[in-house]
Amino acid sequence: MNEIVKDRAGLTRRGLLQSGGALVVAFSVPAGLAGTAGPAAAREPHRPLDPAALDSWIAVGEDGRVTIYWGKMDMGQGTDTGIAIMAAEELDVDVDVVDIVAGDTALCVDQGGASSSSGVQRSGVAIRHAAAEARRLLLELAAEELEVPAADLRVENGTVVAASDASKSVSYGELVGGQLFSHKLDWNGRLGNSLELAGTAQPKDPSEYRLVGTHIPRKDVPGKVMATMDFAHHLVVPGMLHGRTVRPPVAGAVPEAIDDSSIADTGAQVVWKGNFVGVVAEDEWDAIRAARDLAVTWSEPGPQLQTDTGGVHDFIRRAEIKSEEHTTDDGDFDGALAGAATVVEAEYEYPFQSHARMAPAFGLVDVRDGGATIWTDSQKPHSVRPGVADVLGLPIENVRAIWMPGPGSYGRSDADDGAIDAAVMSAEVGRPVRVQWMRNEGIAWDPKGVASVSTGRAAIDADGNVVGYHYGIKGFSRQNMRSRGDEAGSVLAGHLLGREPHNAYAARSPEQSYAFDAMRYTEQVIDPLLKVASPLRTAHFRDPMGMEVHFGQESFIDEVAEAAGADPVAFRLKHLTEPRDRAVVELAAEKANWQSRVGPNPDPGDGAVRRGRGIAYAQRNGAVNALVAEVEVNLETGEVYVPRFILASDHGQIINRKSMRTTLEGNLIMALSRTLFEEVEFDPEMVRSEDWATYPILEMAQVPQAIDIHMIDRTDIGPRGAGEASTRIVPGAVANAVYDATGIRIRKLPLTNAGVRAQLTGA
């Protein structure tokens, strides 16, 4: 630990001296970065970028404004405001004086980007500790300045006041304005999501909170509504060209010849490198026309995708298992199965799904002088930086990625691909290039959510006790593309330039506290349908494989409950072991006025529309949610409508109450869309879902009449991420409600009208 600088006059000099220490990496402008605007200006050149240095996280200006340098970024749920609240709370300043600088690799330590809903849960807690330590140092400085013991000081919005004599006061700005703390924190030595910080000071006890747990207006909303905020898409840099990529008509085809004259009237230039084809033009519309009209002779590789939409689940069943793991294996499941009086068995199918962002991929990159500046809406700019360095063969220290807001991202979307495409084109033409994918690329070529087949098997004894329980999932890998686009094999342009994917075999198991005498969870992963440059490459999509796993699991729990002669809520409560899990199930059931019964609703209505309700529950990284869905099923059309959701949610400590509520609503609506509508259509040659007509998502007509949210605030355990946890319970709750309404168990998503109608009439 460095000694605290108590002499204000000496702070500048000594601070600067200390910042030259071996552990402090000074930020200097690498080649190619000159002239960049924006948040770069917010940080003095001598400010460190060392996770262990307090100055890497917090700066106090002469005007008393506080800047937090945050290594994640907000994807629209107000997480930046949450970070500001957590910092302001510890520092005893108003949220309004806190500015957040996010996602600039030259200014912010790598906290993993937007990832695993860990914004407040992990990065926020790290910043909470840094802010508490900063306050402690500020009080020590104030004690010296005011000649009052630190214990006799209080802070009122950034002004330290002597409790015994209110005439004695000094502001944070006066104490350290513009200077460094030159103070070390205890850092756990890790970057990314698991980065942790601690100081001598302990964060506040929740009983002292003024801000945390209230409603603080989000910082980002007015700019979005008033059209004053810059999205990444608004950025224009001098000399910039507009780029568009040109994709093959069938998967696996590569360019064999290109007729430049086909786009002569556009003035655009062709960029052809390896199997990468793009165009650049001064004018955006000319680039779009050129990409549309460019005459490319493509190879004819024949069908590469091996199967199609209707065949993919049988393909998965037959496919060679490349990786298998029993993530839970307690007791003698096989023995329990052999000795069972009744065996319940069922399979559940989940489709490929697209991130389908509101705008397809974007990237603006300026490659020059052996370096690159990247403006990206990727949720992981610290990964785009090494990705671009790898694809272009640049030293990483000469590459800087600057995040700017874009359309919601929801995981390893196409955003990383767009940035790399722009880098490839900028390197080829020697000017900054702005890439915007077109809609067909955003759905047909983004990395996909995983298609899978789940299997449940349960053993029930003669007395109706569940004595053995097995749930397994078999599917493609959620990390065929790495969740970080940090190397060439994890991005499309890398494949087109000759690199192969990383392809880790990764799946997921249920995150729940069910306990049975013998139980086993199994994950089985298969190879991708096409290894390189595949439109069906798979990667993380909001709550990666959480939807897949818990759709089947929570449907199967209901099937087992009925076979055991139990009500779905009572069965869950009987087998759940975690008190927080039981609490949300009980709360959801109570608020939904749950009527206990075994089997389907005996009184679902007698017209075309039948009514039912279902429940599902799951944990996720320390959060836990239970959801009751009320549904109406039209027997004639097959339409499933959810008029009402009742959610009981426990995300630990609530930081910003209204943001929590809107985030949960968003999770439920997006997951409802995925439950009812979303399936990537493809044939052996190519993905055929390529716009909102061929990849429909939920619209206003299908939005529930009411979403009742009941939040449990557990201030004692700290925050748990809310960005994804409540998505995974939606398909199970809805499918269980459809069964309650109709007596028909639907084990295949999505619940489209045609699909449901076929099941209803086939029964």
Partner 1 sequence: MTKQTFEITVDGETRSVIAEPDMPLLYALRGALEKKGPKFGCGLAQCGACTVLLDGEPIRSCVTPIDSVSGEVRTLDGLATDGTPHPVQAAFIEEEAPQCGYCTNGWMMYAVAMLEKNPDVSDQEIRDNFAGLKCRCGTHMAILRATKAAADAMKA
Residue 226 in the binding site for partner 1 (CB under 8 A): yes
Q: Does 441 bind partner 1 (CB under 8 A)?
A: no
- Judged by CB under 8 A, the residue of 234, 239, 302, 608 near partner 1 is 234
Is 224 one of the binding residues for partner 1 (CB under 8 A)? Answer: yes
| 284 scored as a contact of partner 1 (CB under 8 A) | yes
Is residue 75 a contact point for partner 1 (CB under 8 A)?
Answer: yes
- If one asks whether residue 241 binds partner 1 (CB under 8 A), the answer comes out as no
- 3-class DSSP string for 610-668: EEEEEEEEEEECCEEEEEEEEEEEECCCCCEEEEEEEEEEECECCCEHHHHHHHHHHHH
Whichever of 659 and 742 has its CB closer to partner 1, that residue is 659
Residue 266 beta carbon to partner 1: minimum distance, rounded to whole angstroms: 9
Task: Confirm if 87 and 131 have CB atoms less than 8 A apart.
Answer: yes
Residue 218 or 747 with smaller CB distance to partner 1: 218
Q: Is 96 in the site for partner 1 (CB under 8 A)?
A: no
Which of 163, 189, 699, 717 touches partner 1 by CB under 8 A? 699
Is there binding between residue 9 and partner 1 (CB under 8 A)?
A: no
Q: Which is it for strands 371-376 and 399-403: parallel, antiparallel or unpaired? A: parallel
- Give backbone dihedrals phi and psi of 279, rounded to 5 degrees, phi first: -135, 150
The residue among 670, 667, 623, 668 whose CA lies nearest residue 649 is 623
Asked whether the beta carbons of 488 and 499 are under 8 A apart, the reply is yes
Answer yes or no: are the C-beta atoms of 80 and 73 closer than 8 Å: yes
Structural element, H or E, at residue 244? strand 241-245
78 binds partner 1 (CB under 8 A): yes
SS3 492: helix
**Residue 669 within binding range of partner 1, rule CB under 8 A:** yes
In the complex with partner 1, the residue whose CB is nearer, 71 or 704, is: 704
21: Cα within 13 Å, side-chain hemisphere:
16
Which residue from 289, 448, 540, 748 is in contact with partner 1, where contact means CB under 8 A? 289
Spatial separation of the C-alpha atoms in residues 216 and 226, rounded to whole Å: 19
Contact between 227 and partner 1 (CB under 8 A)? yes
Total binding residues for partner 1 by CB under 8 A? 62
Q: Least CB distance from residue 702 to partner 1, whole Å?
A: 9
How many CB atoms sit inside 10 A of residue 500's CB?
A: 12
Stretch that binds partner 1, among 15-23, 229-237, 318-326, 422-430 (CB under 8 A): 229-237
Strands (E), 351-414: 353-354, 362-368, 371-376, 399-403
**Candidate segments 47-55, 597-605, 654-662, 740-748, binder of partner 1 by CB under 8 A:** 654-662
Quick one: 429 or 698, whose CB is closer to partner 1?
698
Which strands make up the sheet holding 58-60, listed edge to edge? 58-60, 66-70, 98-102
Least gap, CB of 667 to partner 1 (angstroms):
7
Q: Give residues 372-431 in contact with partner 1 (rule: CB under 8 A).
A: 405-410
Of 83, 670, 746, 751, the one binding partner 1 by CB under 8 A:
670
Distance CA 539, CA 533 (A): 13
Instruction: Measure Cα distances from 361 to 83, 107, 520, 693, 760 in Å.
Output: 27, 24, 40, 19, 40
- Applying CB under 8 A, among 186, 308, 691, 713 the residue interacting with partner 1 is 691
Any contact of residue 530 with partner 1 (CB under 8 A)? no
Nearer to partner 1, 477 or 673 (CB): 673
Q: Round to whole Å and give the CA distance between 577 and 570.
A: 13
Residue 115 binds partner 1, judged by CB under 8 A: no
End-to-end, the C-alpha distance of the chain in Å comes to 72
Piece of 24-32, 97-105, 281-289, 492-500 that binds partner 1 (CB under 8 A): 281-289
Determine if 673 is a binding residue for partner 1 (CB under 8 A). Answer: yes
Write down the least CB distance from residue 695 to partner 1, Å: 10
Tokens of 564: 């055991």
With 0-12 / 13-18 / 19 or more C-beta atoms within 10 angstroms meaning exposed / middle / buried, residue 708 is middle
CB 260 within 8 A of CB 284: no
Q: Which is nearer to partner 1, 300 or 699 (CB)?
A: 699
Contact (Cβ atoms closer than 8 angstroms) between residue 698 and residue 677 = yes
Distance of CA 355 to the CA centre of its chain: 11
Choose, by CB under 8 A, the member of 329, 332, 517, 665 that binds partner 1: 665
Per DSSP, 547 falls in state H
Only segment of 29-37, 466-474, 555-563, 702-710 that touches partner 1 (CB under 8 A): 702-710
Chain positions 203 to 222 lying near partner 1, rule: CB under 8 A, are: 217-218, 220-222
- 320 φ/ψ sector (left φ>0, alpha ψ -120 to 50, else beta): beta
Q: Least distance in Å: CB of 17 to partner 1?
A: 44
- Applying CB under 8 A, which of residues 145, 168, 196, 231 lies at the interface with partner 1? 231
- Region from 65-73, 227-235, 253-261, 420-428 binding partner 1, contact rule CB under 8 A: 227-235
Q: Please pick, from the candidates 117, 436, 455, 736, the single residue that binds partner 1 as defined by CB under 8 A.
A: 436
d(CA 102, CA 72): 6
- Rounded to whole angstroms, how far apart are CA atoms 526 and 586? 38
| Nearest distance in Å: CB 269, partner 1 | 18
Minimum CB–partner distance for residue 739 and partner 1 (Å): 25
Q: Does 703 bind partner 1 (CB under 8 A)?
A: yes
230 touches partner 1 (CB under 8 A): yes
Among 392, 404, 629, 668, indicate the residue that binds partner 1 (CB under 8 A). 668
Binding region for partner 1 (CB under 8 A) out of 8-16, 188-196, 566-574, 694-702: 694-702
Using CB under 8 A as the binding rule, whether residue 710 contacts partner 1 is answered as no
Q: For 233-236, which contacts have Cβ atoms below 8 Å and span 24 or more sequence positions? A: 233/359, 233/362, 233/377, 233/406, 233/436, 235/364, 235/375, 235/404, 235/434, 236/434
Among 115, 307, 667, 689, binds partner 1 (CB under 8 A): 667
- Residue 692 in the binding site for partner 1 (CB under 8 A): yes
Site for partner 1 in 338-357 (CB under 8 A): 356-357
The tokens 């068995």 sit on which residue?
345
What minimum distance in Å lies between the beta carbon of 50 and partner 1?
Answer: 32
Interface residue with partner 1 among 77, 169, 376, 742 (CB under 8 A) is 77
Near partner 1 by CB under 8 A: residue from 35, 214, 285, 324: 285
Contacts of 540 (CB under 8 A, 6+ apart): 411, 412, 447, 478, 479, 483
- Distance (Å, whole) CA 242 – CA 418: 13
Please state the φ and ψ torsions of residue 516, each to the nearest 5 degrees: -125, 160
Q: Which residues bind partner 1 (CB under 8 A)?
A: 75-78, 217-218, 220-222, 224-231, 233-234, 265, 283-286, 288-289, 356-359, 405-410, 436, 438-439, 658-659, 662-663, 665-670, 672-673, 691-693, 697-701, 703-704, 707
